[in-house]
Amino acid sequence: MAKLDRNGVAIHYEVHGSGPTLLLSHGYSSTSRMWDGQVAALKDRYQVVVWDFRGHGESDYPADGTQYSEALTVGDMLALLDTVGAKQAIVAGLSLGGYMSLAFHASHPDRVRALMLFDTGPGFKKDEARAKWNETAHKRAADFDARGLTALNSSDEVRLTRHRDATGLAGSARGMLAQENDRVIQSLDKIAVPTLVLVGADDTNFLAATDYMAAKIKGSTKAVIPGAGHAANLHQPALFNQAVEAFLARLPAA
């Protein structure tokens, strides 16, 4: 276990194995523990980097709300790649981690060898849709303020987690889950790296979003995992890993 100092905010990360670098980012209110099955499957061939978002798990929970944002999260990811010595990485994530992977590519395309987007969406073009999403994010933050960790939902990727308290989750909902603009969704047609778009067949909230991304990202690969919901890697780990490894095996040599 290691910590990365980001201007006084400690970011927890782990490095497993050796080979081409794979950076895995977890979903909102989950932690890096959700990737244990993928670490075990891939660390013999890849340098697998997992980490906890600021406000989550073993990372710091800044009291200052300005310390939570998309830009700071992208900066955390860049600093992680620099720390592990990766000029380029396969950048992947689930849900909020997938959105942040897209945001990272939009800011630093030269550092991305390939993208893997799991059970996620690219944000919203329309201001009204984004405002509705943000309203939900702020309600989640208020719920964490009021009820603490009892406000956590019981989804599979969340049940694995341990957070010290709910302050970081509230800050993350306001500053990272809520979205400011349409920058990420407008970047999809500029993606030129190999991209896997994967979704659980039962993840109804993200079926349309993943169809949209697969259509917009030129040459992308789409995978639908039967019998899986939002945490496709936990619901059907063997099928999930099979889809990921098939995609990775087709990547051009680094």
Q: Do the Cβ atoms of 114 and 191 come closer than 8 Å?
A: no
Report the half-sphere exposure of 187 (CA within 13 A, side-chain side). Answer: 20
Residue 146: CB atoms within 10 A of its CB come to 11
- Vertex 109 angle, CA 96 and 81, to 5°: 70
pLDDT in tens, 158-216: 887 899 999 999 999 999 999 999 999 999 999 999 999 999 999 999 999 999 999 99
pLDDT in the model for residue 74: 98
Sorted by where each begins, the domain ranges of the chain are 2-249
Q: Which tokens sit at 218? A: 């030129």
Q: pTM for the complete prediction?
A: 0.97
pLDDT in the model for residue 234: 96
Give the residue ranges of the chain where pLDDT is below 50: none
pLDDT in the model for residue 159: 80
Distance (Å, rounded) from C-alpha 220 to C-alpha 140? 33
What CATH architecture applies to the domain 2-249?
3-Layer(aba) Sandwich (3.40)
**If DSSP states are collapsed to H, E and C, what string results for the chain?**
CEEEEECCEEEEEEEECCCCEEEEECCCCCCHHHHHHHHHHHCCCCEEEEECCCCCCCCCCCCCHHHCCHHHHHHHHHHHHHHCCCCCEEEEEECHHHHHHHHHHHHCHHHEEEEEEECCCCCCCCHHHHHHHHHHHHHHHHHHHHHHHHHCCCCHHHHCCCCCCCHHHHHHHHHHHCCCCCCCHHHHHHCCCCEEEEEECCCHHHHHHHHHHHHHCCCCEEEEECCCCCCHHHHCHHHHHHHHHHHHHCCCCC
